[in-house]
Structure 1
Amino acid sequence: MCENELINDIFTKFQQSLDSDQETREVIRTICKEIDQISREAVTYLQIIHHKEEGISQACLKTRGLFEKARQGYLRLKEAVPPTDYFKYHEHWRWVTQRYSFLIALVIWLEVGILASHETVAEILGISPIEEKEGFHLDIEDYLIGLLLLCSELSRLAVNAVTRGDYNKPLQISRFVMELNAGFRLLNLKNDHLRKRFDALKYDVKKIEEVVYDLSIRQLLPKTADEPKIEDSKEADS
């Protein structure tokens, strides 16, 4: 075999590898587009929480039905991604998975008022919760960003709840978000994107504090509710 033939063989294999990678990416993009559309429908259903209390339980029920459709999409995605190439293609589904982490956490909070665990979110999506070197799983950073998105949505809900005369909801939100804030402060965040998203949490906390404070000075807080401990503003801004 001459030198030119050897070079041709080498570059032919390179092209085959590139073609295979492109085909895989196209399959992944198609699936991600489908599950992204489902997540947008879920967001639309859940917008009712900012307008009226009635219908929230029904919206959560409909959203859970969408989660089942998304689960089927993630199962297809899991099959399409080679076990050793999770992080190679991770960028394709990173954002939509963060959104699902947020949506699942929001639905569970609306239903029972508790934090959706990493394992629970992964189970609903039908993927592994274990951070593995190989295999499809729910990346911890994607889950954490989903929780930060949840805090932003709840800060918005705190304001809108007051406009419709629900003065207890901001207190419930305040307790929950402050507990999450305390939890995040235990983490040594070095990831740039996650760190920047966490830095925005202090503004969500401040916004909720202002709502609770305004209710307090107007004497609109529920008599039976214990006002949550509000962190010192300097600490919250640190």
Structure 2
Amino acid sequence: MAATSSVEETLTAAIAQLESEATLKKSIREAAEPVEDIVRQATAELNRLHSSAASQHEAIATKALETIAGAHSHWVNIAALIPKGEFYRYQFAVAPMFRSLVTSIALARFVLRDELVPKFTAATLMGLQGETVGELEVTSDDYLQGVIGMVNELPRLSVNSVTAQNFALPSRIAAFVNDIFASYSMLNLRNDQLRRKFDSLKYDLKRCEDVVYDLTLRGLAPAPSA
């Protein structure tokens, strides 16, 4: 009888813990919904780059970064739900948003500054600063996947810039993507998902170079700087 009682207590405790974790996961998902809205809004704003004149690109990129900065208070709410020392148990709930935001931030910063945004800067721009965000952090995996997501957008921007008579941007894009591809090529990627995403970079680079090649044949590519 004692053994039966012990088994029942053990299973009851395990079930109670499982239900508690399920409730917490649901709460975290609900707290993350406003950030998901921000992700969609920033993506939609940056999508306007593909159909806008070059003169509007700076304003579009700036507006997207301002939208993303509004996520800070929501990160605070999410961080308050995650038990201390257990961020990696609940990382699944925020990692997709981190990656999407890195993609948007990296694209905006390329448009504004012609540079690859560092991981720390990306985290700061998405509102992950200060003690109030607890242990939330953009991991290297999130950052690297987010950067690849940004590169995946650039061939389309290159093609559409030609349509908008912006013949200088494709060369900038091709050089930028080439630098990123070369850097990723030197990494020993043990993460299967990251390695598969890296494989897409060679195709993105080729598409970008094809645009520049076509412009060169037509005499529309800008002369290389000395």
Specify if TM > 0.5: yes
Matches of 1:146 and 1:4, distance apart in 2? 52
Q: 1:159 touches 1:211 (CA, 8 Å); kept in 2?
A: yes
Comparing 151-160 with 30-39, greater Cα deviation is found at 30-39
Structure-2 residue corresponding to 1:117: 118
Task: Return the letter of the residue paired with 2:92.
Answer: E
Q: 1:48 touches 1:55 (CA, 8 Å); kept in 2?
A: no
Structure-2 residue corresponding to 1:206: 206
Comparing 58-67 with 160-169, greater Cα deviation is found at 58-67
Task: Return the letter of the residue paired with 2:116.
Answer: L
Task: Return the letter of the residue paired with 2:124.
Answer: E
Task: Return the letter of the residue paired with 1:125.
Answer: M
Matches of 1:88 and 1:190, distance apart in 2? 21
Matches of 1:221 and 1:3, distance apart in 2? 81
Q: Post-superposition shift, 1:31? A: 2.2
Aligned partner of residue 65 in structure 2, secondary structure? helix
Deviations 1:63-113 (CA, angstroms, capped at 9, x unpaired) = 222212222222222222223322222222222211001011111111111
Comparing 92-101 with 53-62, greater Cα deviation is found at 53-62
Equivalent residues, number: 221
Task: Return the letter of the residue paired with 1:61.
Answer: T
Q: Post-superposition shift, 1:124? A: 1.9
Does residue 20 in structure 1 map to residue 27 in structure 2? Answer: no
Task: Return the letter of the residue paired with 1:184.
Answer: Y
Matches within 5 A, 1:152-191: 152-191=152-191
Point out 4+ residue stretches in structure 1 off by more than 4 angstroms. Answer: none
Q: 1:101 touches 1:146 (CA, 8 Å); kept in 2?
A: yes
Task: Return the letter of the residue paired with 1:36.
Answer: E
Q: Post-superposition shift, 1:34? A: 2.2
Structure-2 residue corresponding to 1:56: 57
Task: Return the letter of the residue paired with 2:190.
Answer: K
Structure-2 residue corresponding to 1:230: none
Unaligned runs of 5+ in 2: none
Structure-2 residue corresponding to 1:80: 81
Matches within 5 A, 1:141-160: 141-160=141-160
Matches of 2:66 and 2:173, distance apart in 1? 25
Aligned partner of residue 200 in structure 1, secondary structure? helix
Structure-2 residue corresponding to 1:196: 196
For CA contacts below 8 A with separation 6 or more, give which structure has more relative contact order: 2
Task: Return the letter of the residue paired with 1:93.
Answer: V
Structure-2 residue corresponding to 1:236: none
RMSD: 1.9
Matches of 2:193 and 2:209, distance apart in 1? 25
Task: Return the letter of the residue paired with 1:73.
Answer: H
Matches of 1:13 and 1:126, distance apart in 2? 38
Matches of 1:207 and 1:167, distance apart in 2? 15
Q: Post-superposition shift, 1:152? A: 1.2
Aligned partner of residue 179 in structure 1, secondary structure? helix
Structure-2 residue corresponding to 1:226: 225
Deviations 1:20-43 (CA, angstroms, capped at 9, x unpaired) = 101110111112232112111111
Task: Return the letter of the residue paired with 1:103.
Answer: S
Deviations 1:177-207 (CA, angstroms, capped at 9, x unpaired) = 1111111111001111100000000000000
The TM-score, its normalising length taken from structure 1, stands at: 0.86
Q: Post-superposition shift, 1:15? A: 2.2
Comparing 54-63 with 99-108, greater Cα deviation is found at 54-63
